[in-house]
Amino acid sequence: MSTPDVRSRAAGCLLGLAAGNALGLPLEFSLRPADPPVTGIDAAELRRPWDDDL
């Protein structure tokens, strides 16, 4: 890669990082409702894949 191409990609990376940080900041420390605790496993769940990528 040429130097201008590398600099352009680095600038785009930093711009994306700054935009994501600015957009996520209001939600970063906000309180979220708690989920109910898991108390058991349903028998139907045992037949499903355990990995969400499958």
The tens digit of pLDDT for each residue in 15-39 reads 999 999 888 888 777 777 888 887 8
Angstrom CA distances, 32 to 20, 27, 28, stand at 20, 9, 10
How much is the pTM? 0.48
Residue 4 within a domain: yes
The residue ranking higher by pLDDT, 47 or 4, is 4
Task: Locate all alpha helices (DSSP H) within 1-54, ordered by sequence.
Answer: 3-28
In a domain, 2, yes or no: yes
Q: Is 16 a member of any domain?
A: yes
Domain contains 11: yes
Count structural domains, the chain: 1
Q: Which domain holds residue 5?
A: 1-28
Between CA 43 and CA 38 the distance in angstroms is 14
* The amino acid at 51: D
